[in-house]
Amino acid sequence: MLFELRVYHVNTGKMQALQNRFKNHVIDLFMKHDMKVTQFWEDIEDSNSRLFYVVEHANMEMRNLNYERFCNDPEWVEIKRLTELDGPLVIKQESIFMKNVSFFENK
C-alpha cells in the first residue's frame, strides 16, 4: 500500500472555499477514480493556511493512472473552473509518499 500525504498551501481567504470543494465534490470524484481519502487536517495555526490529507493507493503506477483520470474528468475540470472564478484556491501543492513499516501495527 502506498500512502500519499498531500499538503495544500491555500491562498489567503480561500480555506473555506477549498474545504467546500472537497466536501461537496472532490472526495466523491476521488472515489469515482479509485482513490481513497483516509484523513483530513488543517494547520492549527490559521496564518499558515495549509490543508493536509492522506490518499491510499495500491502502488505508484495506480496512483499516477488514477490521478490522470481524475485530472481529465470533465466534471473535475468544470468544478475547478467554477470554484476558481475569483482566483486560484491553492498557491502550491506538495506530495509526500509513504509506506508502512514492518515493526508497527496500527492498533
Distance CA 26, CA 57 (A): 16
> Does 106 score more than 90 pLDDT?
no
Per-residue pLDDT tens for 18-53?
Answer: 999 999 999 999 999 999 999 999 999 989 999 999
Q: What is the mean pLDDT of the chain?
A: 95
The pLDDT score that the predictor gives to residue 40 is 96
The pLDDT score that the predictor gives to residue 63 is 97
Letter string b/e over residues 30-51, b meaning 16 or more CB atoms within 10 A of that residue's CB: beebebebeeeebeeeeeebbb
* Topology of domain 2-98, CATH: Alpha-Beta Plaits (3.30.70)
**Residue ranges of the domains in the chain?**
2-98
Distance CA 61, CA 44 (A): 33
**What is the torsion angle, in degrees rounded to the nearest 10, for the CA atoms of residue 2, residue 69, residue 91 and residue 3?**
-10
Distance CA 106, CA 18 (A): 30
All cell numbers assigned to 59: 502502488
The pLDDT score that the predictor gives to residue 105 is 78
pLDDT-based confidence at 104, cuts 50/70/90? confident
The pLDDT score that the predictor gives to residue 107 is 58
Q: What is the DSSP string of 61-99?
A: HHHHHHHHHHHT-HHHHHHHHHHTTTS-SEEEEEEEEE-
> Does 80 score more than 90 pLDDT?
yes
